[in-house]
Amino acid sequence: MSRQNVYDDETFFEDFRKSRENKVNFNDCIETPILFGMLPDLKGKAVLDIGCGMGQHAKQFADMGAASVLGTDISEKMLAYARAHNSADNITYRLLAMEDIGEITERFDLVTSSLVFDYAEDFGGLMRTIRGLMKDGAEFVFSMSHPIVTAWDGVYDRYTRTETGERLYANLRNYCLEGPRKVDWVVNGYECYHRTVSTLINDLIAAGFVIGECREAHLSDEMRERYPALFGGTIHRPEFIFFRCRKA
């Protein structure tokens, strides 16, 4: 497996679009608030958003005072949506796989990415490339699926449940086995990469980053009680992991 482009699959794209347009989803209720809580002041900054998707974050960065935002993505469908719904004079959307971002000639005050590095075959190499795109003093803030989540190989239920279906605890299998994962999720043969937490940390350090902060996803009891079917499992495991880094 190398680079895939599942977001240009009609079924997958539509499922993702519908989930994002219904504001009660994992991105808007969990991931985005935590990520935005880790961002520096954006006023006057040049921002790169890797895997910008439908451009919601890029638009918010522009609204928060960024001087310029470059959003890159491998998916034409995602970028078409971004251009149609989340444009601004200082936002540029560019069709570019993260494996090719070394081609970018600009340098940035902030590099950010939300839930994209799950698809990176060479995480360490990507971190080194990103470091090269950053100005001195720049920050790098990103999220990924938590390794507890990507450890899933699709052959068992993610939770052990009571007879009535209530989640008793999260199941974990093959966490220590790193590498590609191919599962049937929304579409047959969805692919991502699983890495352990220590691999993420050590690859960041080896690429020349100092980690300023790491967070794991959390959600309020109130949200879990309001939406038990969707968010009930979040008490058992963190869906996402977040890092804020600087150049060493």
Residue carrying structure tokens 């340098």: 107
Tell which one of 46, 48, 53, 238 touches ligand SAM (CB under 6 A). Answer: 53
Per CB under 6 A, 119 contacts ligand SAM: yes
148 sits in the region (left: phi over 0; alpha: psi -120 to 50; else beta) called alpha
By the rule CB under 6 A, 114 interacts with ligand SAM: yes
Residue with Cβ nearer ligand SAM (125 or 171): 125
**One of 116, 148, 149, 207 touching ligand SAM (CB under 6 A):** 116
> Which of the residues 15 through 44 are near ligand SAM (CB under 6 A)?
27
Binding residues for ligand SAM, how many (CB under 6 A)? 20
**Residue with nearest beta carbon to ligand SAM:** 53
In order, the DSSP letters of 154-167 are: SSS-SEEE-TT--E
**Other Cβ atoms closer than 10 A to 175:** 14
Per the CB < 8 A criterion, the answer to whether 29 and 219 are in contact is yes
Question: At how many degrees (to 10) do helices 10-21 and 76-85 cross?
Answer: 30
Choose between 16 and 167: whose C-beta lies nearer to ligand SAM.
16
Nearer to ligand SAM, 74 or 138 (CB): 74
Between 167 and 239, name the residue whose CB sits nearer to ligand SAM: 239
Q: Strand (E) positions, 103-225?
A: 108-114, 134-145, 159-161, 167-170, 179-185, 187-194, 209-216
Residues near ligand SAM (CB under 6 A) are 3, 7, 27, 51-54, 56-57, 73-75, 78, 97-99, 114-116, 119
